[in-house]
Copies of this chain bind each other. A is one copy, B any other.
Amino acid sequence: MRKTRQRDLILRVVCTHPGHPSLQDVYQMARQQMPRIGLATVYRHLEQLARAGVVRKVVLGDRVTRYDTNIGKHYHIRCVECGRIDDLPLSFMDTIHERISQSVGYQVLEHFLEVVGRCPACYHGVTVDNKAGRQ
């Protein structure tokens, strides 16, 4: 992989981002520094970063792909009103894999836990509604 201005920018943007940026989020942020950058370029670099293990690709119930800069195994909570994502302070259940592969015949690869709710802001009626999405 070559070193390019785009690559550097995307890496910088995604690593700087505190939260769980979606492809569109990263794209918008990148455009502020490089207005003519293409969505596909951002997409391909994020995929590559995910394959390389630098970020973790996350798909939740709202069907949006997000790239998590927190590599460690953990779960997420999503606000049904505004789309905000937070990490869950819940210990990762490593034992689940063995427990399951016994009972179902599956070879277990991974598992995801998603909690859905209303974030503090939305719960108190201050809904901002960046992006809704429910199931």
| Cβ-neighbour of A119 out of B100, B106, B123 (below 8 A) | B106
Judge if A113 is at the interface, Cβ distance under 8 Å: yes
- Contact status B108-A117, CB under 8 Å: yes
Number of chain copies forming the complex: 2
Picked from B65, B89, B111, B116, the residue with its CB within 8 Å of the CB of A109 is B116
Residues A107 and B88 in contact, CB atoms below 8 Å apart: no
Asked if A118 and B106 make an inter-chain contact with CB atoms under 8 angstroms apart, the answer reads yes
- Interfacial chain B residues near A115, Cβ < 8 Å: 96-97, 100, 106, 108, 110-111
- Interface status of A86 (Cβ within 8 A of chain B): yes
Are B117 and A106 in contact, CB atoms less than 8 angstroms apart?
Answer: yes
Q: Does A114 contact B (CB under 8 A)?
A: yes
**Is A99 positioned at the interface, with any CB of B under 8 Å from its CB?**
yes
Pairs across A and B, CB under 8 Å, 6 listed: A86-B106, A88-B100, A89-B103, A105-B119, A106-B120, A108-B115
Q: A residues bordering B, Cβ < 8 Å?
A: 57-59, 61, 63, 65, 77, 79-80, 86, 88-90, 96-97, 99-101, 103-120, 123, 135
